[in-house]
Amino acid sequence: MTDDATKDATTPEQGSGPTPGGAGSRAPGRPASDRHLPVLLQRCVDLLAPALATPGSVLVDCTLGMGGHTEAVLEQVPTARVLGIDRDPQALALAGARLARFGERFTPVHAVYDEIGEVVAEHSPGGVQGVLMDLGVSSLQLDEADRGFAYAHDAPLDMRMDQSGGMTAADVLNTYAERDLARILREYGEERFAPRVARAIVRRREERPWERTAELAELVRDAIPAAARRTGGNPSKRTFQALRIEVNGELEVLERAVPAAIEALATDGRVVVEAYHSLEDRIVKRALARGTTSSAPPGLPVEPETHRPYLEALTRGAEEADEAELERNPRSASVRLRAARRLRPTPSHLLPHPTTKEARR
């Protein structure tokens, strides 16, 4: 991927800076504030703050992680309260400890963020004034070596953001057909040599099942021609990224989550999304463009009210990190930030399909 392919997959993606002790250390005693440096923190707060100025305003932090963005909002916008969503129970526990001093202004919610509609219906049925999404894998998940996200540390091939259930990376490697492995490596990792890598994965599992990250990293390195390994960093990063996206259904979740987030917004509410690779950013761009562009057929002398934009873009395209941000937090190199404000309700003919659990089944 043009953005993420240049990122070292052993380092945090979701608004992350360097993690003390290294990506593979286990340090459950360290507070969340020491393990996470949010990307474009002040810019996110500045974009959201005008919508949160009324007492009782609600922000949904869809990707709570270590709670860095939420902490900044609660500190700088005393009128706001936050619903913090995360699928990782460990992240909720760490962020909860970090944010305990804010009392009832912070509510943790264990959910996947495409369930935002259900979360808002339960906790803020009148809608919310802000939504933040900071996409990708979090510092916490990379900081724990045994989660299997980082190829630089030998660990079980897990890669689940929520380890309470679901398919692991080992399950994917051991059960997917060769053509399906090649497809996810090509689509989610933009791996040029996807068929070669998939073929090698299948040959290897005929001898013994996949279990460890170090074995996979070695096989990928051997499967890619030496000339192609000379540039672009560790060749395993594309395969590890593709497996992580597949295991967690990240792009499918995002496809549902962005329209659902827009529908959760009250009029004048704002949505801010930070993406870290091209596939994520493409989904976000498409969803926001749908709202900021007239849906009227070209050539009409008068634009019907029902076809006027229901969103206003707050950024010109995707914003990137400036030099000061890059110096402070090198992991911001691939970030693409987009934001929009809700102007009015979405016209009925443009409403997204239902995204409740029942509708997804």
Residues that constitute the known binding site: 67-69, 86, 113, 134, 141
As annotated, the binding site for S-adenosyl-L-methionine includes 67-69, 86, 113, 134, 141
C-alpha 154/C-alpha 157 separation (Å) is 9
C-alpha 45/C-alpha 351 separation (Å) is 28
3-state secondary structure the chain: CCCHHHCCCCCCCCCCCCCCCCCCCCCCCCCHHHCCCCCCHHHHHHHHHHHHCCCCEEEEECCCCCCHHHHHHHHHCCCEEEEEEECCHHHHHHHHHHHHHHHHHEEEEECCHHHHHHHHHHHCCCCEEEEEEECCCCHHHHHCHHHCCCCCCCCECCCCCCCCCCCCHHHHHHHCCHHHHHHHHHHHHCCCCHHHHHHHHHHHHHHCCCCEHHHHHHHHHHHCCHHHHCCCCCCHHHHHHHHHHHHHCHHHHHHHHHHHHHHHEEEEEEEEEEECCHHHHHHHHHHHHHHHCCCCCCCCCCCCHHHCCCEEECCCCCECCCHHHHHHCHHHHHCEEEEEEECCCCCHHHCCCCCCHHHHC
Strand partners, 338: 273
Whether the CB-CB separation of 174 and 205 falls below 8 Å is answered with: yes
Q: What single-letter amino acid sits at 135? A: L
Tokens of 137: 């894998």
Strand partners, 275: 336
Q: What single-letter amino acid sits at 312? A: E
Q: 10 Å Cβ neighbour count for 240? A: 26
Whether the CB-CB separation of 31 and 1 falls below 8 Å is answered with: no
